[in-house]
Amino acid sequence: MGVPTAFGPRAQKALTRRIYHTLFSIFGPQHWWPAQTPFEVMVGAILVQNTNWKNVEKAIARLKDRKLLTPRKLNAISLQELAKHIRPAGYFNVKAKRIKNFVAFFIGRYQGSLAKMRARSVRVLREQLLSVSGVGEETADSILLYALNKPIFVIDAYTKRVFSRHKIFSCDISYRDAQEIFHKNLPQSGKIYNEYHALIVQLAKQYCRVKPLCLKCPLSRINQHSRR
C-alpha cells in the first residue's frame, strides 16, 4: 500500500515549485547529463539501467578508448565484442543487445541524425523509442530530455522516494501519473525539467537515502505550511 498524499492540487503545485527553488539554492546548477555528446547520453541511458553511474562511466570510457562511441561503429561491432567492452556496467549481454537495438533504430529510422530526430514531436519520438526492445519509460524519457532537449520529466526511483516521503504522491504511483504532476505544476521547459531531476538525484544521494538523514535534509521543514 502506498504512502497517502497529504496535499490538495494548489498546495501540491506550490510545494513542487518550492522544492525546486530550495534545491537549486542549496546545490546550484548540476550540468546533468555528464556526457560529451548527445549520442553518448543515449548510450549512457541504456547502460545506467540497474546500475550506478560510476560503472557506466567505466563502460563509456572503454568505448571511447576504442573509438567505438558512434552509431555506425556500434552498429558494425559484433554483439559479443560490444558486451565485452561494456562489462563494467553489469548485465552486459542484455545491455549489449539493447544498445544494438537502439542503434539499429537510430540509423534505420533517422540515419543516425540527431537533427532529424529532434525535428519530430515528443509524442511521436516517445512512442517510437518505447517500441525499441529494452527501452522503457525512464530510458526513453532520459533520451528525450537529456539528449534531444525535449520537455519531458524523467521519473526514477529517487524521484518516487523523495516525493512519497514528503507525501506529495504515493510511492506506488504509476510512472505517467507521477510525471503528470511535474508537467502540470511546472513551466513546460526542458531546461527546468533537466535541472529539477538532477537536483532530486543530488538530494537523494546526499540526504534522502534508503536510510534517510531527515534532520539534515534541506527539505525537512519545507512542507510545514503547505497542507490543506
Q: What is the CATH number of the domain that holds 207?
A: 1.10.1670.10
Is the residue at 1 inside a domain? no
- The 10s digit of each residue's pLDDT in 115-149 is 999 999 999 999 999 999 999 999 999 999 999 99
Is the residue at 99 inside a domain? yes
Q: What pLDDT sits at residue 223?
A: 61
- CA–CA separation, 101 and 129 (whole Å): 10
Asked if residue 33 has a cis previous peptide bond (ω within 30° of 0), the answer is yes
Whether residue 48 is found in the same domain as residue 23: no
Local confidence band at 221 (pLDDT 50, 70, 90 cut-offs): confident
Q: What is the CATH number of the domain that holds 74?
A: 1.10.340.30
Whether residue 102 is found in the same domain as residue 179: no
Burial-class residue 52 by CB neighbours within 10 Å (0-12, 13-18, 19+): exposed
Total count of residues recorded for the chain: 228
Whether residue 135 is found in the same domain as residue 169: no
Q: What pLDDT sits at residue 5?
A: 59
Angle formed by the axes of helices 9-27 and 190-206, nearest 10°? 70
Question: Cβ(168)–Cβ(12) under 8 Å?
Answer: yes
- The 10s digit of each residue's pLDDT in 146-162 is 999 999 999 999 999 99
In the chain, the number of structural domains is 2
Range of the domain at 25: 9-30+153-216
Whether residue 160 is found in the same domain as residue 74: no
Mean pLDDT of the chain: 94
Is the residue at 57 inside a domain? yes
Whether residue 126 is found in the same domain as residue 210: no
- CA–CA separation, 144 and 122 (whole Å): 7
Whether residue 95 is found in the same domain as residue 116: yes
Whether residue 23 is found in the same domain as residue 42: no
Q: What pLDDT sits at residue 211?
A: 96
Which among 144, 164, 166 has a CA at the least distance from the CA of 154?
Answer: 144
Is the residue at 47 inside a domain? yes
Local confidence band at 7 (pLDDT 50, 70, 90 cut-offs): confident
| Lowest pLDDT segment from 11-15, 80-84, 110-114, 123-127 | 11-15
Is the residue at 226 inside a domain? no
Whether residue 194 is found in the same domain as residue 95: no
Is the residue at 175 inside a domain? yes
Report in angstroms the alpha-carbon separations of 197 from 31, 157, 162: 11, 11, 11
Which of 147, 171, 198 is where one domain is finished? 147
Q: What pLDDT sits at residue 224?
A: 56
Neighbouring CB atoms inside 10 A of 99's CB total 24
Is the residue at 74 inside a domain? yes
Give residue for cell 544494438: 100
Report in angstroms the alpha-carbon separations of 223 from 65, 104, 131, 180, 193: 48, 47, 39, 20, 21
Q: What pLDDT sits at residue 143?
A: 98
Is the residue at 195 inside a domain? yes
DSSP E strand stretches across the chain: none
Q: What pLDDT sits at residue 225?
A: 47
Whether residue 13 is found in the same domain as residue 47: no
Which of 94, 118, 147 is where one domain is finished? 147
Whether residue 140 is found in the same domain as residue 163: no
- The 10s digit of each residue's pLDDT in 36-88 is 999 999 999 999 999 999 999 999 999 999 999 999 999 999 999 999 999 99
Q: What pLDDT sits at residue 228?
A: 41
Whether residue 114 is found in the same domain as residue 182: no
Whether residue 44 is found in the same domain as residue 121: yes
